A and B are shown apart, each in its own frame.
Chain A
């Protein structure tokens, strides 16, 4: 055995309690597989937030609509990278498109992803930004002009009729996009929920729980981004918009907590043979990440903070700060949720008689640094997108493009 692997295995074996099978000491799904559902959840959540404005006509959320779309796009670009880094051989990913295997849920991810990226996100953003792209092309020179020409596919028609058609197209795509976003993240939950051999994962509630935690994470991320970008641009925060974001975050958190509790109570009531090892897992290995970080800091804390800020006569400055802090804690909590599902689900033996441990490496292909890099990457992409396609209202109202 490779000495590095042996040292790793020995370190893991010291943390083993009870009896485990020989192939369970080392975890197969690492932190990169934690990041994958985390990022995918942010994509779906941000898109669903955007659809609230477009389809459900929540006008208060208008300032965050375009930001939410670009956030979803920046994160969806990164979504498959953790998987490819984890599996290695990224060039083989293309083969699932060449010879699709409909009987494998994992192999179908490429199609779910491609549908969501190509047919939903890119199309909606293209129609939403088309009029602006025409204007930006007219206002810029050189390479930038060429870029906008290419990206707008040579479009020049900004007549009221064409713009009205854009709006209709955006509306239609958003309606199509809601079930697609549900599909995207519901799919991730489905993958875990359908692992029959793992009682921690195997639950029909899994896709629904994943979906609502995705909505929670998406709303809180857009809230954080809206807060920071507006402050960096030295503009005024729209209090109505922040109130609406916080209110939706609050309601989504309540639904998320209810679903998680339902899942928990259902498992307790069923009390299948795995319940004892799962209880031991939760009270030993996962106590900090589940009870403290996910439930207390990531759910109950933000719920109380949001309720206090929303329903008391707090001054607006304090309200905004409370929303921001709550959103940060929600992000930490949601990351912890993904950690608890992916890592927690591999910490107990299938013999139900022992627990193992996960040792996170610092470097290497599946280490902490790679994970941090993959978490930072979407923000870099978002920065570029925000520079190329400013989503702010003031960037649209400068001058109207001329027709032709």
Chain B
């Protein structure tokens, strides 16, 4: 049974383990890249390989040399964290003067929508649009300067953002009413819409200002003379029970249910 004091079977198994262990060490020596672990849990030589790749991007400092105005405007705007080449593409060749063509000028809506398309997971207050509703026929840069995208003045009308509602209202009986007749809109809403949401009417009495039986159509309702219009009247005590007006009437097109 024994060879010396060690049983045979231990020697046999030990030999196999030794074989496996030794081959593992040899395999490791052969397969592990020499520079592995020098800088971290990766092959340090990979840094050199990556560094040897051809440089594609010039960096905004290179743009600054010729396009000082645009870069300065961008660096003071909400787009300051973006690099010029984020929108204009890699421009190392252009910066070194070797390129035959200028970097592309993105004119479509697609590029802007990469960041500004409405997505529920984007942070509140980040400017986002629903592309079908937000001036669908216009290109972004016709209203917004990409180098300084902050609107210098408020959008001309609510339809700038709420186009679908505006289109419906424009052909409804409520067409003469401005949005502000029913909505109280803080001026900040035009700059930071989601942080300053306009107030909506919340009780039947509000609609009763014009539509309650026995109430004269106001000649000056929040600055609008409504006497020229034929305003339908209902007895609010009996009409609709406890329902709120907008549970049956869509306020932007009130003849529809």
Contact = CB atoms under 8 A, between A and B. Distances in A.
Interface of A: 19, 21-22, 97-99, 101, 118, 123, 126-127, 130, 153-155, 157, 159, 161-162, 165-166, 169
B28 A153 contact: no
Contacts of A166: 9
B12 interface: yes
B158 interface: no
B228 interface: no
B9 A165 contact: yes
Given A98-B27, A153-B15, A162 B7 contact: yes
Chain B at the A interface: SS class: helix
A58 B7 CA distance: 29
Candidate in B12, B17, B24, B28 with the most chain A CB atoms within 10 angstroms: B12
B72 interface: no
Contacts of B13: 123, 126, 153
Candidate in B1, B32, B37 with the most chain A CB atoms within 10 angstroms: B1
Contacts of A157: 1, 7-9
Given A118-B20, A161-B1, A165-B7, A21 B121 contact: yes
B1 A159 contact: yes
B8 A155 contact: yes
B120 A19 contact: yes
A3 B47 CA distance: 38
10 contacts: A98-B27, A99-B41, A118-B17, A153-B13, A153-B16, A155-B8, A161-B1, A161-B2, A162-B8, A162-B9
B202 interface: no
A14 B1 CA distance: 71
A127 B9 contact: yes
B36 interface: yes
A125 to B, nearest CB: 12
B196 to A, nearest CB: 24
B31 interface: yes
B81 to A, nearest CB: 23
Interface string B10-43: 1011011100100010011001100011000100
Nearest to A162: B1
A220 to B, nearest CB: 33
Contacts of B24: 97
Contacts of B10: 169
Contact of B36 (A99, A130, A155): A99
B247 to A, nearest CB: 24
A224 to B, nearest CB: 32
Nearest to A97: B24
A21 B120 CA distance: 8
A127 B16 CA distance: 14
A101 B1 contact: no
6 A-B pairs with the lowest CB-CB distances in the bound complex, closest first: A153-B12, A162-B1, A161-B1, A157-B8, A159-B1, A165-B7
